[in-house]
A and B are shown apart, each in its own frame.
Chain A
Amino acid sequence: MPSIRLVNVTKRYGKIVAIKNLSLTVNDGEYLCVLGPTGSGKTTLLKLIAGIIKPDEGEIYIGDKLVNNLPPQERNVAYVPQQYALFPHLTAIDNVAFGPLSKGFSRNEAYKISMRMLEMTRLAWRANSFPHELSGGMQQRLALARGLASGAKILLLDEPLGALDARLRVELRYKLREIAEENNLTTIHVTHDQEEAMVVADRIVVLRNGEIQQEGPPPQVYNEPKNIFVAHFVGEANFFEGFVAEVDLHGSWIQLRNGFVLRVNETSKKVGEKVVVMIREEKTEIIKRAKRREEINLLPGTIREVSLLGDFISYSVLLDNGDRVNSRIPTVRGMGRFKVGEKVYVRLKPGDLRVYSYPPQGLYRELEVI
């Protein structure tokens, strides 16, 4: 079972640099998710590994072999593109048999393998249907079966669930993981949906404009985001602009807008430095009354919006200093607790606050998704 290694890979399209000096290692049997917004280079990354395009700089290794000049048909990689690219003129089983037949299997062998693949993806009963006769979910499974039929041990999935309904996406993401596990595959699953990535991945790589922002197991990326982009893209977070007022042995005091002050455990920033403070929405507590007046990190504000998200309720609070925060509470607990217009306090534990240097292009630009 091979691993994949990219070393200092760069790929340009004219003036645009799609992948910038990227190095990445994927271990045997790992389920890796590459997470990033549209245009971050995710598809380019997969195509480089599949051999459809060549890197301008750097090396790509599959197993121990340097594959830069190895054409796609020799790489033994299962590539499932975003729109599946099923062969429209072939039936389901002919689509699946294409791989084994191309690799030289006898007709008998090839069709035996194909039937097995279709059974694994629960499509055996539609073996003689054409792609356009199948539903979206079935097409996705067919594309998967086709990719795996020739025995490839590396699976490259480009937004595999993108074309499906939201509910279906939730159901099928576990199936993908199951198939990868059952067949001992090394998988790279590319997506822009961070919830999807966190659920299925052993490790997440966050990509932005062709550069890796952070990589690690989901809990690590989620709880210890290295920069503002990762904090914002993975999960939901609140951000405060401010500057460092005081630093001591155990932490710092950050001055926010209009006189509010936050205590953080960060000591590495200098006095006067402009910073951004971040806290996860589900760690942002709302309380009705302060227990003690002198409690730190207690910010008064008013509830502006209540929004049901399913198993969580989101409260949007306009703080008295003008900043805006969201708080997520499990629906069971948060239902009906606060009303729009109610005056409340937002309580932030110093241990949950992370401090980042102020981004050079401004906070709005950095958070900009639209």
Chain B
Amino acid sequence: MAVKNLNLQVKDGEYLCVIGPSGCGKTTLIKCIAGIIKPDEGEIYIGDKLVNNLPIQDREIGYVFQEIALFPHMSVYDNVCYSPLVKGWKISRIENIVKEMINMMKLQDRVKDYPDALSGGAKQKTAIARALVSGSRLLLLDEPLGSLDAKVRKVLRYELRRITKDLNLTAIHVTHDQEEAMSIADRIVVMRSGEIVEVGTPLELYLHPKKLFTANFVGEANFLVCNLIGEEGNYVKVDVNGKILYSSTKVNPKHKRVVAAIRPEFILMKKTRRAKDSWKGVIERKAFLGSSVRFEIRTENDSILTVKRPVHEAMKFKVGDRVNLILPRESLLLYPYPREGLEKAISIE
């Protein structure tokens, strides 16, 4: 089953990203909306219209493909003209709109070129222009940046958001790249094995992911299996292999075993001894990431934690240093231990 009993509402003018690992059903979902695939059960509405039996060409959507799919036998200009042409618009109207779109996407120098002469980014911009010129209010993007270089992706994704917002469109953007989704989405839908795991704004999913899978898929996280001890004031007390930690997440006391998750960038690292919360450890690895540095710490009770610090802070630490880690209570999230086991629950393959 590619998609299972899925319910989703997309707001007008929203930039929605659907993310998930390969095979999670996100492409199937977007193809159903477009009419390329027919659902076996259920209804799809665009606006107020039930579109289940409406053929692709009548659904008034713009679609951007991962393979880009520019018509190889047509120039950039002809590609962009295609939609209004086949819809029977008047030539003068077509010329105006196409010119406007080409300027908006900064493709003026390439109008006469054929697809095989264009760079990856230029191809995708043309594909976007072609989809938008049709006048559709809904834009569906299927891994639109997947075939492009990392740098090009980073620049083009903002273009995508800017154009859709400028034209007041609703966009559903499917991707496997969670950073891409976080940077431009109004809301994100996390999918896995045909089902929706969680929906929320980028910040919500980043700071307070409700599911373990989200915690691992959106951003990075450390996962610690621990025993629930009980409540202490406003906090919950857990035991990780002998080390006591506190969390501000409320969790049902019937779960004896829980998983604690904390993002590497939220863990504080100090050389001097501080609060009683702190966890002693030794730096085993250090990797320079540019604007931050990533550390692997082996704690005194043999847990391995990944810590990320901004570069100016991180410069003073070396491999082999003894450090104290502080896991802020608001950043330590608790989840009931999953039935299928931790590895399966967070696996992204």
Query: In the complex, is A directly touching B at CB under 8 Å?
Result: yes
On A, residues with C-beta under 8 Å from B are: 37-38, 135-137, 165-168, 170-171, 192-195, 198-200, 218-219, 222, 232-236, 280-282, 305, 307-312, 314, 328, 330-332, 335, 369-370
Can you name the residue of chain B whose Cβ is closest to the Cβ of A281?
A: B291
* A328→B179 contact, CB < 8 A: no
* B289→A307 contact, CB < 8 A: no
Contact check: which of B125, B152, B183 meets A308 at CB < 8 Å?
Answer: B183
Give the CA-CA distance A166 to B349 in the complex, in Å. 11
* B150→A199 contact, CB < 8 A: no
Q: A38-B149, A310-B182, A314-B183 are in contact. Are A222 and B310 (CB under 8 A)?
A: no
The contact string, 1 if C-beta is below 8 Å from chain A, for chain B 266-293, is 1000000000000000000001111110
Can you name the residue of chain A whose Cβ is closest to the Cβ of B159?
A: A370
* Closest Cβ–Cβ distance, residue B25 to chain A (whole Å): 14
Which residues of the other chain, B, contact A235 by a CB distance below 8 angstroms? Answer: 290-291
Question: In B178-235, which residues have CB < 8 Å from any A CB?
Answer: 178-180, 182-184, 202-203, 206-207, 216-220
Give the CA-CA distance A332 to B309 in the complex, in Å. 11
Those 6 A-B pairs whose CB atoms lie nearest each other, nearest first: A370-B121, A311-B265, A282-B291, A166-B177, A193-B150, A165-B176
Can you name the residue of chain A whose Cβ is closest to the Cβ of B287?
A: A199
Which residues of the other chain, B, contact A314 by a CB distance below 8 angstroms? Answer: 183
Which residues of the other chain, A, contact B264 by a CB distance below 8 angstroms? Answer: 311
* A233→B151 contact, CB < 8 A: yes
Which residues of the other chain, A, contact B184 by a CB distance below 8 angstroms? Answer: 307
* B348→A165 contact, CB < 8 A: yes
* B289→A331 contact, CB < 8 A: no
Known: A282-B310, A305-B158. 7 other contacts (CB 8 A): A135-B349, A137-B349, A234-B290, A307-B158, A310-B182, A311-B265, A331-B265
Give how many B residues have a beta carbon under 8 Å from the other chain's beta carbons: 48
Give the CA-CA distance A35 to B203 in the complex, in Å. 32
Which residues of the other chain, A, contact B217 by a CB distance below 8 angstroms? Answer: 167
Q: A311-B219, A331-B265, A370-B125 are in contact. Are A37 and B290 (CB under 8 A)?
A: no
Which residues of the other chain, B, contact A280 by a CB distance below 8 angstroms? Answer: 291
Which residues of the other chain, B, contact A312 by a CB distance below 8 angstroms? Answer: 291-292
On B, residues with C-beta under 8 Å from A are: 21-22, 119-122, 125, 149-152, 154-156, 158, 176-180, 182-184, 202-203, 206-207, 216-220, 263-266, 287-292, 294, 308, 310-311, 348-349
Can you name the residue of chain B whose Cβ is closest to the Cβ of A329?
A: B310
Q: A199-B289, A370-B125 are in contact. Are A311 and B308 (CB under 8 A)?
A: yes
* A310→B150 contact, CB < 8 A: no
Contact check: which of A310, A328, A332, A369 meets B219 at CB < 8 Å?
Answer: A310
Can you name the residue of chain A whose Cβ is closest to the Cβ of B121?
A: A370
Contact check: which of A37, A193, A199, A332 meets B266 at CB < 8 Å?
Answer: A332
Which residues of the other chain, A, contact B180 by a CB distance below 8 angstroms? Answer: 166
Which residues of the other chain, A, contact B206 by a CB distance below 8 angstroms? Answer: 308, 310, 331
Give the CA-CA distance A199 to B22 in the complex, in Å. 24
Which residues of the other chain, B, contact A168 by a CB distance below 8 angstroms? Answer: 21, 348-349
Give the CA-CA distance A310 to B221 in the complex, in Å. 11
Give the CA-CA distance A307 to B311 in the complex, in Å. 21
Which residues of the other chain, B, contact A222 by a CB distance below 8 angstroms? Answer: 288, 290
Can you name the residue of chain B whose Cβ is closest to the Cβ of A336?
A: B203
Which residues of the other chain, B, contact A136 by a CB distance below 8 angstroms? Answer: 22
* B151→A218 contact, CB < 8 A: no
* A330→B265 contact, CB < 8 A: yes
* A198→B183 contact, CB < 8 A: no
Can you name the residue of chain A whose Cβ is closest to the Cβ of B21?
A: A165
Contact check: which of B119, B150, B183, B349 meets A370 at CB < 8 Å?
Answer: B119
Can you name the residue of chain A whose Cβ is closest to the Cβ of B217?
A: A167
Give the CA-CA distance A311 to B219 in the complex, in Å. 8
Contact check: which of A234, A236, A308, A311 meets B263 at CB < 8 Å?
Answer: A311
* A310→B179 contact, CB < 8 A: yes
Give the CA-CA distance A171 to B152 in the complex, in Å. 22
Can you name the residue of chain B whose Cβ is closest to the Cβ of A307?
A: B183
Contact check: which of B149, B177, B308 meets A37 at CB < 8 Å?
Answer: B149
* Closest Cβ–Cβ distance, residue B248 to chain A (whole Å): 15
* A309→B150 contact, CB < 8 A: no
Q: List 11 A-B contacts (CB under 8 A).
A: A137-B349, A165-B21, A167-B21, A167-B176, A218-B288, A222-B288, A307-B158, A308-B202, A310-B219, A312-B291, A369-B152
Can you name the residue of chain B whose Cβ is closest to the Cβ of A173?
A: B287
* A195→B150 contact, CB < 8 A: yes
